[in-house]
Structure 1
Amino acid sequence: MPTTAAAIDPAVDAKPTQRRLADAERTDLSELVDTDRYPLHDVDDPRLQAEIARVREDLDREGCAVLRGFLRPEALEQARDEGRELSTKSYYSSCRVNAWFTSDDESLPASDPRRHFMERTSGFVTRDMIPADTVIQQLYVSPAMKRLVAECLQEDEVYEYADPFAGLVQNVLPPGTEQPWHYDTNEYIVTMMTDAPETGGEFQYCPNIRTPAGENYAGVGAVIRGEDTTTPRTLLLRPGDLQLFKGRYSLHRVTRVGGQRERHTAIFAYSQQPGVVGRLERTRQLYGRVSEAHIEAEKRREVRADGLLD
């Protein structure tokens, strides 16, 4: 199993940079974000309002939207170098999972998609290991970033996770690994690729293939088994693009990474209410450890209102 990241170019690493700490009061992100195109400091700016309107339309229609070129080139270069260094801290796990991350149920017929298990190998660097001066930490805590996400999702407000591990993570996919078809436990996720692989690593998704009314096992099974190749859509993502995605209802995957370079993606987890902590067993599965916060939260866990399997 891979345990190291691609080497960092010493010439790049040696360049002097101005470093700032993550600041929960900071609204000026002009050093990091292309604020000519995305003026986050002024939510009423017509340019930003036009982008927000487009994102809302894309989310309603596709369950997915992208803000292209969100990071400035120099900030992207910094985020890329930081990501390569962070990847050496990755926790890698490899297991066979179904799309719902549930255990095998032998009472179901063999053709049921819940009995279709796929190899999943990926690495994660958790928030407690990501320094406060990294680009992705500065973005995650900024009220300007939260306001943008809230506006795009038509929420009054969004909150950082209370989860000490999962609020902000870096996903690492080394060559030869992939993320098979799955759903997210939260309704939406915000991500940004910071390093792209040489080949593969494509994001594919099936918009709203399930709903709160039902799992659509027949349709999902056809996609998972490769019988339906028309429903899945492939989204071209470039480093520095900001993606908003409704992953609770849209089956999705990342195809196998090829070449010599890893695929790095920052995952910004926000929620509609404060105090969110991830599920105990899924946290252990993804990150290899849990905290007291996860144990206590699991004792208070309520059944999800939508009634879906995961």
Structure 2
Amino acid sequence: MSTTHAQAVEQVVDTTRYPLDEPGGAAWREVVSRTRHELRTLGCSVLPDFIRPALHETLRRECATIAPKAYYDVETVNVYNIDTDASLPEDHPGRIAMRRGNAFVARDHIPGEFVIHRLYASAPFQDFLAACFELPALHELTDPLAGLVLNVVTPGMEHPWHFDTNEFAVSLLTQAPERGGVFEYCPNIRSAEAENFEDVRAVLTGDGGRMVRRLALRPGDLQLFKGRYSLHRVTEVQGDTERHTAIFAYSERPGVIGSVARTKQLFGRITPEHLAAEGRAVRVDELLD
């Protein structure tokens, strides 16, 4: 472990509870084993107070200073992020329109000295995540805008039901709203082989409550999530305080860059790197989104 990476872990992470500074040790293996079990059975694992409590206010303040740089775009979407006027059967869940009103601060607006940036680039952190997701390795996205982003949900807005493009996601709540902004999800509601439209529609229409789990996340909590097959959302934020979440995006292979269309949707702009990479994306399944 390099001195820089070791310092980042020791300064940022509560290594007493989460011994990332002792990879492969007994305590490290115990945390990894517990997290793997939760991901296998529930599709989600939360590591409370992953960030040292003494840094919680620094974490909140840093992210709050860049939140105004978020690209906002309120739009009508469906659960699969495909055209809302697509030719679909009448009872198809993709026919149900929702309003998405969240926003993202791109990586090039996040200073390298910020807590979330130091953590994202930390090799021990990446190795720990790879072990938890039972992968040989994880790689930072080559994308100059994605990879590390800050998600901002303003009062009155929500991130409606959707599936992730990636098989796994890592996030860290940095500022909680006064009310609302609850993370809800339906573990493994679909698979790579089956869309399971009936259950998805039930959740979207309010008839699938038995399938919905809810998480009360707090600032400093690290969330590991398998969102490709688990339907999920963030409920409407209420009060006067925005909901801020750092999203750490990695890939199983190096060199990943987002598509032009998706990048424009999330950040309102693209770079030459996105144009050069267009058309080289590889899908892991044939699901709608």
TM-score higher than 0.5: yes
Is 2:17 the counterpart of 1:34? no
- The answer as to 2:284 corresponding to 1:305 is yes
Distance 2:118 2:18 in 1: 17
Q: Report the counterpart of residue 174 of structure 1 in structure 2.
A: 154
State the distance in 1 between where 2:87 and 2:138 align.
Answer: 41
Whether 2:274 is the aligned partner of 1:265: answer: no
Determine if the alignment matches structure 1 residue 282 to structure 2 residue 273: no
Q: Report how many residues are paired.
A: 287
Which residue of 168, 190, 208 maps to 1:228? 208
- The answer for the alignment partner of 1:111 in structure 2 is 91
In the TM superposition, residue 106 of structure 1 has moved relative to its aligned partner by: 5.0
Preserved contact between residue 71 and residue 240 of structure 1 (Cα < 8 Å)? yes
Q: Which residue of 2 aligns with 1:295?
A: 275
Aligned-partner residue type, residue 31 of structure 2: E
The correspondence of residues 76-225 of structure 1 with structure 2, limited to 5 A, is: 76-105=56-85, 107-225=87-205
Following superposition, the deviation at residue 308 of structure 1 comes to 0.9
Q: Deviations over 1:182-201 (max 9, x none)?
A: 01100001000000001000
Instruction: Note the aligned Cα RMSD (angstroms).
Output: 1.4
Match of 2:224 in 1: 244
TM-score, with structure 1 as normaliser: 0.90
Q: 5+ residue gaps in structure 1?
A: 1-22
| 1:25 shift after superposition | 5.0
Evaluate the alpha carbon distance shift between residue 199 and residue 307 of structure 1 in structure 2; reply closer, same or farther with a 3 A threshold: same
Q: Which residue of 1 aligns with 2:52?
A: 72
SS in 2 for 1:35: coil
Q: Equivalents in 1 of 2:196, 2:56: separation in Å?
A: 39
On the 8 A contact 1:279/1:298 being kept in 2, the answer is: yes
Q: Residue by residue, what CA displacement relative to the aligned partner does 1:108-143 show, whole Å, maximum 9, x if unpaired?
A: 233211111100001110100000110000000010
Higher share in helix: 2
Q: TM-score, normalised by structure 2?
A: 0.96
Q: CA deviation at 1:45?
A: 2.4
Q: Could you tell me how far apart the structure 2 residues matched to 1:136 and 1:49 are? A: 24
Conserved? CA contact 2:170–2:225, under 8 Å: yes
Per the TM alignment, residue 107 of structure 1 is displaced from its structure 2 partner at its CA by: 3.2
> 1:105 deviation in Å?
4.3
Asked if 2 retains the 8 angstrom alpha-carbon contact of 1:198 and 1:258, the reply is: yes
Report if aligned partners of 2:77, 2:84 keep a CA contact under 8 Å in 1.
no
Following TM superposition, by how much is the alpha carbon of 1:258 offset from its aligned partner in structure 2, in angstroms?
0.5
